[in-house]
Structure 1
Amino acid sequence: MSAVYINSAACISVQDTLNENILQNLNPQNTVKIIKAIEPNYKEFIPPAMIRRMSKTVKMSSVASNYALKEAGIEKPDAIIVGTGMGCSQDSEKFLKNVIDNHEEFLTPTFFIQSTHNTVAGQIALGLQCHAYNFTYVNTSSSLEFSFLDAQLQINDGEAENILVGSTDEQTDRTMELYCLNNTIKKETDLPADHLNSKTNGVIWGEGASFFVVGKDKTESSYAKLTDIKISNRLELNETQEFIQEFLSKNNLSVNHIDAVILGFSSDADSDAYYTKAMNLFPDSALLYYKHLSGEFNTASGFSTFIACHILKEQQIPKVMMINSIQKEEVKNVLLYNHLAGDDHSLVLLEKA
């Protein structure tokens, strides 16, 4: 497939990523079990009557997509593709609570209608009055990567020229309780978390929404060239380096061509072993990590893609992300590697636009 360009990038996260000087204002978040996104003033973007009926993930996505389209100078995209791991889980929980509280009788359909995973893409399309291709991918931690692949296919096949691609996930009280009970989330006694040298399992959970406009042509606002993507649902630990090397070979690259590698160290001792294996493959590259800034969640790779776009455009690497001390004169190729609890491994290769 031919490469496509990321022409705009917007992100709502636990960092203040909607404002300027993003790379200079990143702050580690490793002392609490659950970190919430910094939300904008929604009234500036969404009519108050609509805000009341929207779940957090719909509101975050509406604003982030608004920023992305505005930056790219596009009113209506040729397609809207969204990736999400948990979907509109707030409305799902409200609906199930109503079922229990009302003994399965006299239920209003509103929460049920708004609880489906494709609500986000649908609400964005309604707001834009966009009747184009509209699709949602629900593939846990590789949801955004599948969305990017779809966009790449659409553009390469001549079906579209500019596509809005996004990822979003929100927190809900009950789900967070369950994640604490099954030790997905770290225990209080294991905090503050050491993301690079963790001896304990469990993660710090975050949330957020990241949106990008992917286009056929390079523009003045282009951040990066989206060169290639590879996804594997299952991977043995001893297959990690081969998985990466095959991907690079396919793109006529070696490990020496990669200027920066962004790894998803999450402070979960067991699953972070994959990143350690990958790290050993790149002795001469700048090694970075990011989940101490974003938290772990199904579409946390949206945050890393957003940060990678800014690194490529601004040619700066934030010290707070650095694992080693290697500094490159020019950052041309960036490799992103992510998985969730050892499953759904993804590689994304970005190049300076």
Structure 2
Amino acid sequence: MNAVYINSASCISVQDTLKDNFFQDLTPYQSVQILKVVDPNYKEFIPPAMIRRMSKTVKMSSVASNYALQEAGIEQPDAIIVGTGMGCSQDSEKFLKNVIDNNEEFLTPTFFIQSTHNTVAGQIALGLQCHAYNFTYVNTSSSLEFSFLDAKLQINDGESDNVLVGAADEQTNRTMELYCLTNTIKKEKDLPADYLHSKTDGVIWGEGAAFFVLGKHKTENSYAKLRDIQMINRLDLEEAPSFITGFLAKNDLKHEDIDAVILGFSGDATSDVYYTKAMDAFQNSALLYYKHLSGEFNTASGFSTFMACHILKNQQIPEVMMINLEKKTKVKNILLYNHLAGSDHSLMLLERA
């Protein structure tokens, strides 16, 4: 397949990633169980009457997609593709609460309608009055990667020239309570979290939205070239090196050709062993991690992709992300490796545009 270009990148996260020069102010979080996004002023982008009816995921996505389209200079994308792991959880919880409180009678359909996972892509299309291809992927931690793959196919097949691609997930109180009960979220006694050498299970949970415009042609603002993506649902620990080696070989690359590797260390001792295993083959690459900046969530790879785009464009690696001391004066190829709790492994290869 031919490469496509990432021509804009926008992110709302627990860092203030909408402002200029955010690289200098990245703050690691190790001592709280749950991280909240830095909310923009939604009233600048969304009419107040609509804000009240929107879940946090829809609001974050509306603003992030707006930024992405403006940066790319695109008014109407040829397709809108969104990935999400949990969808609009807040409205789902509200609907279920109404079912219980009202004994399954006299229910208003609003919360149910807005709780569906494709609400985000639908609301963006309504706002733009865009009648083009509109699709949502719900594949846990690979949701963004499947969205990117679809966009790449759309462009390679000549169906689209510019595709708006994004991923978003929000938190809800009840879900966070359940995650604490199941030890998905780290216990307070295990904080502060040691992301790279953790001896305990569980993660610090985050949220966020990241949107990109993928295009057929390189522009003056292009961040990166999206060369390839590969996903696998289940992977034995001993198979991780061959999974990566095979992916690189398919793209005529060797380990030494990769300038930086961004790994999804989350502080969960059981599943982080995949990243530790993968690191061994990249002795001459800059090894980076990011979930101490974003928290773990289904589409956290959106944050890492956003960071990778800025690293390639600025040719600068933030020290707060560095695992080893390998510093690169030029960054051409970046490999991103992510999974969630040991499932849904994904590899993404970006090249400097």
Paired position in structure 2 for 1:303: 303
CA-based RMSD of the aligned residues comes to: 0.3
Paired position in structure 2 for 1:269: 269
Read off the aligned partner of 1:269 and give its amino acid letter: A
Paired position in structure 2 for 1:312: 312
| Matched residue SS, 1:270 | coil
C-alpha separation between the residues in 2 aligned to 1:256 and 1:35? 36
Paired position in structure 1 for 2:2: 2
Pairs within 5 Å for 1:322-341: 322-341=322-341
C-alpha separation between the residues in 1 aligned to 2:273 and 2:66? 38
C-alpha separation between the residues in 1 aligned to 2:259 and 2:204? 28
Paired position in structure 2 for 1:77: 77
Paired position in structure 2 for 1:215: 215
C-alpha separation between the residues in 2 aligned to 1:220 and 1:22? 21
- CA drift of 1:23 comes to 1.6
C-alpha separation between the residues in 1 aligned to 2:41 and 2:191? 31
Paired position in structure 2 for 1:158: 158
C-alpha separation between the residues in 1 aligned to 2:145 and 2:3? 14
| Matched residue SS, 2:23 | coil
C-alpha separation between the residues in 2 aligned to 1:36 and 1:71? 25
Paired position in structure 2 for 1:203: 203
Once the two structures are aligned, what percentage of the paired residues are identical?
Answer: 80
C-alpha separation between the residues in 2 aligned to 1:169 and 1:42? 17
| Matched residue SS, 1:163 | strand
Read off the aligned partner of 2:239 and give its amino acid letter: E
C-alpha separation between the residues in 2 aligned to 1:164 and 1:59? 16
| Matched residue SS, 1:23 | helix
| Matched residue SS, 1:283 | coil
Paired position in structure 2 for 1:169: 169
Paired position in structure 1 for 2:103: 103
Read off the aligned partner of 2:56 and give its amino acid letter: K
C-alpha separation between the residues in 1 aligned to 2:68 and 2:24? 21
Paired position in structure 2 for 1:121: 121
Paired position in structure 1 for 2:241: 241
- CA drift of 1:184 comes to 0.2
| Matched residue SS, 2:22 | coil
2:193 counterpart of 1:193: yes
C-alpha separation between the residues in 2 aligned to 1:261 and 1:83? 23
- CA drift of 1:87 comes to 0.2
5+ residue gaps, structure 2, are none
Read off the aligned partner of 2:343 and give its amino acid letter: D
- CA drift of 1:158 comes to 0.2
Read off the aligned partner of 1:135 and give its amino acid letter: F
Read off the aligned partner of 2:164 and give its amino acid letter: L
TM-score of the two chains, using structure 1 as the length reference = 1.00
TM-score of the two chains, using structure 2 as the length reference = 1.00
Read off the aligned partner of 1:167 and give its amino acid letter: A
| Matched residue SS, 1:297 | coil
C-alpha separation between the residues in 2 aligned to 1:169 and 1:66? 17
- CA drift of 1:89 comes to 0.4
Q: Deviations over 1:183-213 (max 9, x none)?
A: 0000000000000000000000000000000
C-alpha separation between the residues in 2 aligned to 1:204 and 1:176? 11
Q: Deviations over 1:134-174 (max 9, x none)?
A: 00000000000000000000000000000000000000000
Q: Deviations over 1:46-77 (max 9, x none)?
A: 00000000000000000000000000000010
| Matched residue SS, 1:24 | helix
C-alpha separation between the residues in 2 aligned to 1:23 and 1:235? 34
| Matched residue SS, 2:214 | strand
| Matched residue SS, 2:179 | helix
- CA drift of 1:329 comes to 1.7
Which consecutive segments of 4 or more residues in structure 1 shift more than 6 A?
none
Q: Deviations over 1:79-121 (max 9, x none)?
A: 0000000000000000000000001000000000000000000
2:77 counterpart of 1:62: no
C-alpha separation between the residues in 1 aligned to 2:279 and 2:16? 28
- CA drift of 1:32 comes to 0.2
C-alpha separation between the residues in 1 aligned to 2:16 and 2:24? 11
- CA drift of 1:24 comes to 1.4
5+ residue gaps, structure 1, are none
- CA drift of 1:25 comes to 1.3
- CA drift of 1:302 comes to 0.1
Read off the aligned partner of 1:215 and give its amino acid letter: G
Paired position in structure 2 for 1:278: 278
- CA drift of 1:33 comes to 0.2
Paired position in structure 1 for 2:144: 144
C-alpha separation between the residues in 1 aligned to 2:332 and 2:234? 29
Read off the aligned partner of 2:86 and give its amino acid letter: M
- CA drift of 1:328 comes to 1.2
